């Protein structure tokens, strides 16, 4: 039984299920029975099924025989025919986005076993006529805030939100260092003399894990960090002389969670850092096998804006329909299974002062109606997934839920709407969609990260295992119980937009795509001297994660 199937089973029964719980079930010898058992026994008040709701001992005592039935076949092996596609884990480089001549792309050769795929393709068609993904073919939403927002705007919610971030991210670091609670350092200081007396020998080597609450430069040019955990806060000094470390420290941003190993000063008032540990992606991670076909990633369509590039957009739609002169392109379009849009579908209204002068469509619902018209032209074999951005008509505070009923009802049923951020599984390839508001903050805070290369900002997200670490700057947050920005599980593809420049990069087996825009340079961009790269679309081969860039 595949993860998706497990999720669907629970979704149909009206439950959400945490990825951990899914893993647990899938790894069990008889997942199907386990699912049934859980559904029978689950307390109705539970909304999200977590690991603790899965009572394995009692299940196994009740179904002692089931183990035999499924034994031998692992859940992985019993999956799709799509997995026959050869693995391509050696893919390392991405086509240079600067020189994306489509016709020269080597990824045009169709994968072996194309015929099989074809037949399956049609079966998707049949299924997708009914209500999209729920009926379960190949898109599943693994996490999304929609209808799960619990925030009511109280102080403790903010605290809980950050505690949740701390606990999730510190767990990732904890495996690598033996950290102590910060309070224990303070206590030692109060008693005077730091750890000198108690420890003996190399007494002063300590490790802590904390959320950065302040970064500043001292008069002598060192970096001073304030780290905080749920027990207290402590100062960490990064010495200027430690070149590499200092370089690392200059990239530290507010509100990220890091581990520090270092030595306490004599008076016990601060730690002099020797090592900085980020949550980061694991160095060795098994690659999921991927699936067949291709996915198209785009964002920031800005329908309704007077700078929306309608002509280019329409030729993109033509391409999806296989209507193009170039045969290779035609072939390519046949392969496309998914169209993923990471926010700013329309230009919206009232997003910035004086926007009404830059709009062709002044009515927000007309903007979406226009969008719906465009998407109705997309051939039915292509699954469409849309998440909102800061121009869309959902709450500005992130995480954002999917579009409201009034807007989704304008569209055909086959379109899947998700929140922002959202983790979706495209037939085995997991895509983390995030509009990318936080890139603004990352560009402003991390040296070397710029709007011209947004993928660098996205890689910084991956290193921090967090989509939007900085609080209180450009990103509005809604204090939800869970920190939806934590990157866990690790996706195959991280997809952002927002900055209107194409960027494609790879970091430890994760493909980072910033998918550009369909809007030419706006007044605001003119003012701040940002050159967008509009009407360029990355297409990813889902079996190899090899990326091609198309120009329209």
Contacting range for other proteins; rule: CB under 8 A; set: 22-30, 192-200, 230-238, 530-538: 230-238
For 131, 179, 435, 446, the CA distances from 440, given in Å and listed in that order, are: 37, 32, 11, 10
| Contact flag: residue 150 with other proteins (CB under 8 A) | yes
The count of residues interacting with other proteins (CB under 8 A) is: 52
Q: Site residues for other proteins, window 44-103 (CB under 8 A)?
A: 47
Query: 40, 155, 216, 325: which one contacts other proteins (CB under 8 A)?
Result: 155
Query: 89, 127, 265, 396: which one contacts other proteins (CB under 8 A)?
Result: 396
Parallel/antiparallel/unpaired status of strands 336-342 and 383-387: parallel
CB nearer to other proteins: give 117 or 229: 229
Rounded Cα distance between 214 and 221, Å, is: 16
Whether 526 and 492 have beta carbons less than 8 Å apart is answered as no
Contacting range for other proteins; rule: CB under 8 A; set: 72-80, 266-274, 395-403, 500-508: 395-403
Three-state DSSP class for residue 387? strand
Whether 271 and 235 have beta carbons less than 8 Å apart is answered as yes
Query: 245, 254, 341, 345: which one contacts other proteins (CB under 8 A)?
Result: 254
Whether 537 and 552 have beta carbons less than 8 Å apart is answered as yes
Q: How far is the CB of 153 from other proteins (least distance, A)?
A: 5
| Contact flag: residue 184 with other proteins (CB under 8 A) | no
Per-residue x/- marks for other proteins, 208-227, CB under 8 A?
A: ---x-x--------------
Could you please report the per-residue DSSP string of 224-276? Answer: EEEEEETTEEEEEEE-TT-HHHHHHHTT--TT-EEEEEEEE-TTSSEEEEEEE
| Residues ≥6 apart with Cβ < 8 Å to 139 | 132, 133, 338, 383, 385, 416, 424, 425, 426, 427
Rounded Cα distance between 140 and 122, Å, is: 19
Contacting range for other proteins; rule: CB under 8 A; set: 75-83, 318-326, 453-461, 476-484: 476-484
| Contact flag: residue 263 with other proteins (CB under 8 A) | no
Contacting range for other proteins; rule: CB under 8 A; set: 263-271, 345-353, 493-501, 537-545: 345-353
Parallel/antiparallel/unpaired status of strands 257-264 and 270-277: antiparallel
The DSSP element (H or E) to which 513 belongs, if any, is: strand 510-515
Contacting range for other proteins; rule: CB under 8 A; set: 76-84, 158-166, 304-312, 456-464: 158-166
| Contact flag: residue 35 with other proteins (CB under 8 A) | no
Contacting range for other proteins; rule: CB under 8 A; set: 197-205, 258-266, 305-313, 470-478: 470-478
Per-residue x/- marks for other proteins, 429-468, CB under 8 A?
A: --------------xx------------------------
Q: How far is the CB of 181 from other proteins (least distance, A)?
A: 11
Q: How far is the CB of 47 from other proteins (least distance, A)?
A: 7
CB nearer to other proteins: give 35 or 475: 475
Parallel/antiparallel/unpaired status of strands 294-298 and 536-541: antiparallel
| Contact flag: residue 314 with other proteins (CB under 8 A) | no
| Contact flag: residue 356 with other proteins (CB under 8 A) | yes
* Token code pair at residue 379: 């051939």
Whether 458 and 446 have beta carbons less than 8 Å apart is answered as no
Q: How many CB atoms lie within 10 A of CB 395?
A: 15
For 105, 278, 326, 375, 457, the CA distances from 95, given in Å and listed in that order, are: 8, 29, 20, 28, 19
The DSSP element (H or E) to which 366 belongs, if any, is: helix 364-376
Rounded Cα distance between 474 and 454, Å, is: 16
For 68, 346, 396, 420, 461, the CA distances from 388, given in Å and listed in that order, are: 46, 9, 10, 6, 19
Q: How far is the CB of 109 from other proteins (least distance, A)?
A: 44
Query: 29, 88, 110, 233: which one contacts other proteins (CB under 8 A)?
Result: 233
Query: 22, 378, 459, 475: which one contacts other proteins (CB under 8 A)?
Result: 475
| Contact flag: residue 238 with other proteins (CB under 8 A) | no
Q: How far is the CB of 57 from other proteins (least distance, A)?
A: 30
Query: 478, 486, 504, 513: which one contacts other proteins (CB under 8 A)?
Result: 478
Return the residue matching tokens 């200092």. 246
CB nearer to other proteins: give 156 or 241: 156
CB nearer to other proteins: give 208 or 535: 208
Q: What angle do CA 104, 295, 383 make, to 5 degrees?
A: 140
Per-residue x/- marks for other proteins, 488-527, CB under 8 A?
A: ---------------------------------------x
Binding site for other proteins (CB under 8 A): 47, 147-156, 158-159, 162-163, 166, 211, 213, 228-233, 254-255, 349-350, 353, 356, 362-365, 393-397, 401, 404, 443-444, 471-473, 475-478, 527-528
């Amino acid at each position: 039984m595949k993860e998706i199937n497990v999720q669907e089973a629970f979704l149909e029964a009206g439950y959400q299920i945490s990825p951990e719980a899914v893993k647990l079930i899938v790894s069990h010898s008889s997942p199907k029975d386990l699912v049934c058992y859980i559904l029978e026994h689950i307390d109705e008040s539970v909304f999200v099924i977590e690991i603790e709701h899965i009572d394995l001992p009692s299940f196994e005592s009740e179904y002692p025989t089931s183990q035999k039935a499924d034994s031998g076949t692992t859940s992985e092996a019993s999956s799709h025919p799509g997995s026959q596609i050869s693995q391509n884990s050696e893919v390392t480089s991405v086509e240079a986005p600067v020189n994306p001549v489509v016709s020269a792309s080597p990824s045009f050769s169709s994968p072996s076993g194309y015929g099989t795929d074809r037949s399956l393709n049609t079966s998707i068609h049949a299924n997708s006529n009914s209500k999209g993904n729920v009926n379960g073919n190949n898109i599943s939403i693994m996490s999304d805030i929609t209808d799960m927002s619990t925030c009511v705007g109280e102080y403790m919610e903010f605290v809980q939100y950050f505690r949740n971030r701390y606990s999730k991210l510190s767990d990732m670091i904890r495996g690598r260092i033996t950290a102590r609670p910060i309070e224990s350092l303070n206590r030692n200081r109060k008693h005077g003399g730091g750890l000198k007396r108690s420890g003996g020998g190399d007494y002063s080597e300590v490790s802590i894990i904390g959320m950065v609450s302040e970064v500043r430069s001292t008069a002598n040019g060192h970096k001073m960090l304030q780290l905080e955990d749920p027990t207290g806060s402590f100062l960490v000094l990064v010495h200027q002389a430690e070149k590499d470390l200092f370089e690392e420290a200059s990239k530290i941003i507010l509100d990220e969670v890091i581990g520090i190993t270092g030595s306490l000063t004599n008076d016990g008032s601060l730690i002099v850092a020797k090592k900085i540990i980020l949550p980061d992606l694991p160095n060795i991670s098994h690659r999921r096998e991927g699936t067949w076909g291709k996915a198209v990633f785009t964002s920031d369509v800005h329908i309704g804006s007077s700078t929306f590039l309608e002509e280019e957009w329409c030729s993109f739609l033509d391409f999806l329909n296989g209507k193009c002169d170039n045969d290779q392109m035609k072939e390519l379009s046949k392969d496309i299974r998914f169209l993923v849009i990471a926010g700013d579908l329309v230009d919206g209204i009232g997003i910035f002062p004086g926007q009404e002068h830059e709009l062709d469509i002044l009515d927000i619902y007309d903007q979406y109606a226009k969008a719906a018209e465009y998407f109705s032209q997309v051939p039915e074999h292509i699954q469409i997934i849309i998440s909102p951005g800061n121009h869309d008509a959902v709450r500005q505070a992130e995480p954002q839920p999917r579009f409201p009923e009034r807007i989704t009802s304008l569209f055909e049923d086959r379109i899947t709407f998700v929140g922002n951020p959202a983790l979706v599984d495209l037939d085995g390839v997991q895509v983390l969609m995030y509009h990318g508001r936080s890139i603004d903050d990352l560009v402003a805070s991390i040296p070397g990260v710029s709007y011209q290369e947004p993928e660098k900002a996205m890689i910084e997200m991956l290193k921090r295992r967090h989509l939007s670490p900085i609080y209180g700057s450009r990103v509005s947050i809604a204090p939800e119980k869970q920190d939806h920005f934590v990157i866990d599980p690790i996706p195959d593809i991280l997809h952002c937009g927002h900055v209107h420049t194409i960027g494609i990069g790879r970091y430890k087996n994760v493909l980072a795509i910033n998918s550009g825009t369909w809007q030419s340079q706006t007044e605001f961009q003119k003012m701040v001297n940002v050159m967008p790269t509009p009407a360029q679309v990355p297409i990813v081969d889902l079996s190899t994660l090899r990326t091609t860039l198309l120009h329209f």
